[in-house]
Amino acid sequence: MLLKILLVCSLVSSVVLSVEVKESLGPCNFPAIYNFGDSNSDTGGISASFVPIPAPYGQGFFHKPSGRDSDGRLIIDFIAEKVNLPYLSAYLNSLGTDYRHGANFATGGSTIRKQNETIFQYGISPFSLDIQIIQFDQFKARTEQLYKEAKTALERSKLPVPEEFSKALYTFDIGQNDLSVGFRKMSFDEMHAAMPDIVNQLASAVKNIYERGGRTFWIHNTSPVGCMPVNLFYKHNTPPGYLDKAGCVKDQNEMALFFNNQLKDRVIKLRTELPEAAITYVDVYAAKYGLISNAKNEGFEDPLKICCGYHVNDTHIWCGNIGTENGKEVFGGACEKPSASISWDGVHYAEAANHWVSNHILNGSFTDPPTPITHSCYKH
């Protein structure tokens, strides 16, 4: 027993010492962020490529639609704020963009594995992770060419400095839609069997960037997908044991945890395979589930209640859309107090929840190694 206590104390001391040493080295001073992901971090890609995301999306912070699936900022926006960089322009957005300090390749509906269906069927983006990496490769190559050809400082002012790609922060938040597709098309046994390939494809994306000079990686695991209110929109009676104590779909969350365990193991292997990389695994699941299961004490309303959209009985009018009920026109509008909401539209988080989660992950409380994002460039 004494030995066990000593081992625990030693482990805690080493973790604290590790964080203290890193913080004593000073912040990383990232010149740019390059993000890859889905709607959890899309700042305008899918909105520019297909149908623009309508009001009341964006009404809170931006006071207009901003290409984000929320009433305001996403976790990637809070990451940018934390490392003192501007909000990321979407790579696919052709107007009002500035790529001097990075670019965002994420699009709503993106998956890690390429899917054989169109966005018009189930909302799955054609820009899967492998395509996002191809876009990054092209972006980097063209940047270097244009920077070399630029004749004035003004021409170069909206381009990344080529030498800074190696010093940038590379963030990943993707995988949730792979689970959504799996729940729709596959048995749980088939999903379990597919997980190694899914996480290997994410690892391949990280390796690709490493081979092109990237060294600092911040990788989010997937959210508690079973806690999305949309899961219960079409299910009026749930059998005993279907929901957990927080009201979330139990087997969906178990699958998310299985994915996360596989991802964490793969990240640990990546650290060996990429010896010069600093790779941080971020347990977004634990942070979000912690908020959902303790919503009232954290100042939020029922986590399974949505803020935007009209979903009553069998009438479903999504946020920002117009529909009819009993012959009357109904708008899927926003609630009066989004700041007390966790779910914005049944699938995506409200800004207040994104802010809460960001505050709890960016300081290193839910990361492996336990490092604040401002010091994530230092190897553990």
- 69-115, pLDDT tens digit by residue? 999 999 999 999 999 999 999 999 999 999 999 999 999 999 999 99
pLDDT of residue 358: 98
Asked if residues 354 and 320 have their Cβ atoms less than 8 Å apart, the reply is: no
pLDDT of residue 180: 97
Does 8 score more than 50 pLDDT?
Answer: no
In angstroms, rounded to a whole number, what is the distance separating the alpha carbons of residues 155 and 179?
43
pLDDT of residue 324: 96
292-301 mean pLDDT: 98
Q: Bin 49: left if φ > 0, else alpha if -120 < ψ < 50, else beta.
A: alpha
Does 9 score more than 50 pLDDT?
Answer: no
pLDDT of residue 20: 55
What pTM was computed for the model?
0.94
pLDDT of residue 22: 54
Asked if residues 102 and 30 have their Cβ atoms less than 8 Å apart, the reply is: no
Catalytic residue from among 311, 348, 360, 375:
348
Q: How many CA atoms lie within 13 A of 130 on its CB side?
A: 9
Structure tokens at 328: 């009357």
Domains observed in the chain:
33-300+352-375 (3.40.50)
User: Mind listing the pLDDT tens digit for each residue in 203-220?
Assistant: 999 999 999 999 999 999
- Name, in order, each residue with C-beta under 8 angstroms of 337's C-beta and a sequence gap of 6 or more: 301
> Is 197 one of the annotated active-site residues of the chain?
no
Does 14 score more than 70 pLDDT?
Answer: no
> Is 39 one of the annotated active-site residues of the chain?
yes
> Is 380 one of the annotated active-site residues of the chain?
no
Catalytic residue from among 69, 311, 345, 376:
345
pLDDT band at 12 (very low <50, low <70, confident <90, very high): very low
The chain-wide mean pLDDT, for the chain, equals 94
